[in-house]
Chains A and B, each alone.
Chain A
Amino acid sequence: MRKTTMALCSTAAGITLLLGVKAQSGGSPRSALADAPQPAAAAPSTAPSTAPSSGAASGGTPGSGKFTGSEIDTRYGPVQVQAVESGGKLTDIVVLQQTYGGHSSQIDSYALPVLKSEALTAQNANIDVVSGATYTSEGYAQSLQAALDAAGK
């Protein structure tokens, strides 16, 4: 459960950064997950909540489920994200709402993948193998793949 807390905190940090970029000229950055329930309070529920204005968790086992952040307004429209957790690991960030049209969609097409990469590190993305620009034999030690290889041994 502690892992979950840390994962959601880092997610919140990522979104804060994202919105900080988007709200450069007005408003203070807020986190879409800042109001999400703490994992201890996120008891598994049989009825997934779809209420957009409050955090909700659904799922069958502790350490697994979907944690939905609050909908927040940005200068480009409402944004809401959901953290998907499995076996105590953060496995995905799903964007439930994003803004569309004109300038907004252009910005989001840039911003949303950045948001994802803030959250998905080797430890919490539950990945088996890493594809990337070729690393040298010297650079391997610092690569994500090296971390996975070490974990597998």
Chain B
Amino acid sequence: MRTATATVMGTVVSLAVPDTVKATVLGAAADAAFGWLRHVDEVFSPFRPDSPISRIRDGRLPLSAVDGCPDGPEIREVLALCEELKQDSDGAFDAWAVGDPPGFDPCGAVKGWATERAGELLTEHGLTRHTLNAGGDVRLRVGEEDRTPWRVGLTDPHRPGTVLTVLTVRDGAVATSGTAERGAHVFNPSSGRRATALAQVTVTGPDLARADGYATAALALADGPHGAAAARDWLNDLAERTGYQALTVDPSGATWWTADLAALLPARTERG
């Protein structure tokens, strides 16, 4: 495979395409996708004091004035996604209650959303078959000519350097949220505490923005009063409502997954 990587959004984004893709085509597509992600980083970073998101957080940019911003349409799109995820998760995902003291931080939605759009740019630039990995959140396409599915390894949070299992995916997204790599970085909005009741949640479905948001929401739900069981109930319900499938890993190492994920798992894997 041919690969290209870029450091952006505090992580490394990796792009892979078949060897048959010309280097010039890969280069042009990668420039477009990585350039878009750098733009998003500037607009949405909570770490840049003058980013629009920092100004929304501290009140310098009222929501009523967002439409007048140069990046207004994109900010509106992310705000709408945050609202959708909050509704979908019964408040477990709340971009307006992140951190202590709670404040506005749409990071949990932005990376998946931006990477989903970056994947569309790759397609427009001729990379119909590709994998795009933004720090562990992956968007995949197989294109028309070679429909061989991609093999997506899911990291084992308790054994760095090994994978827990492999999902076979043609077109879609695989997003994983966990506590292993960055420490406990997901906040539960109702308790204000860092989420720790599940070690890792993987969600797969058509769209990376939603898969990423759902994985983050499940991790936060697990830290609520009803623990990991509430997260699993919600993921089961989510699978019925949306078709997005999920796999969770407990702090003990025990795994659990939604029934229809079995179609993507290696044959004869027994359900936990």
Contact assessment for B254 and A139 in the assembled complex, using a CB-CB cutoff below 8 Å:
no
CA distance A129 to B155 in the complex (A): 10
Task: Provide the bound-state CA to CA distance between A95 and B265, in Å.
Answer: 13
Select one of B162, B178, B180, B202 contacting A118, CB under 8 A: B162
Number of A-B contacts (CB under 8 A): 176
Per-residue A-contact encoding for B163-191, CB less than 8 Å = 1, 0 else: 11111000000111111111001000000
Pairwise interchain contact B162-A117, C-beta atoms closer than 8 A:
yes
CB distance from B232 to the nearest CB of A (A): 13
Query: Does A132 have its Cβ within 8 Å of any Cβ on chain B?
Result: yes
Do B272 and A120 touch (CB < 8 A)? no
Contacting residue for B181 out of A113, A117, A129, A139, CB 8 A: A139
CA distance A94 to B166 in the complex (A): 12
Q: Within 8 Å CB of B138, what residues of A?
A: 129-131
A133 pairs with B180, CB closer than 8 A: yes
Is the beta-carbon distance between B131 and A132 smaller than 8 angstroms?
no
Q: How large is the interface on B (under 10, 10 to 19, 20 to 34, 35 or more residues)?
A: 35 or more
The reply to whether A152 and B2 form a contact with Cβ atoms under 8 Å apart is yes
Give the total of A residues in contact with B, Cβ under 8 Å.
Answer: 40
**Smallest distance from the beta carbon of B168 to chain A beta carbons, Å?**
10
Given that A135-B12, A140-B12, A152-B3 are contacting pairs, would A127 and B176 also be in contact in the complex, using a CB cutoff of 8 Å? no
Residues of chain B within 8 A (CB-CB) of A109 are 254-256, 270-272
A-B contact pairs, 25 of them (CB 8 A): A92-B166, A92-B266, A92-B267, A94-B268, A95-B270, A110-B252, A113-B165, A117-B159, A125-B151, A125-B153, A131-B175, A132-B157, A133-B136, A133-B176, A133-B178, A133-B179, A134-B135, A136-B10, A136-B182, A137-B11, A144-B155, A145-B133, A148-B3, A152-B2, A153-B3
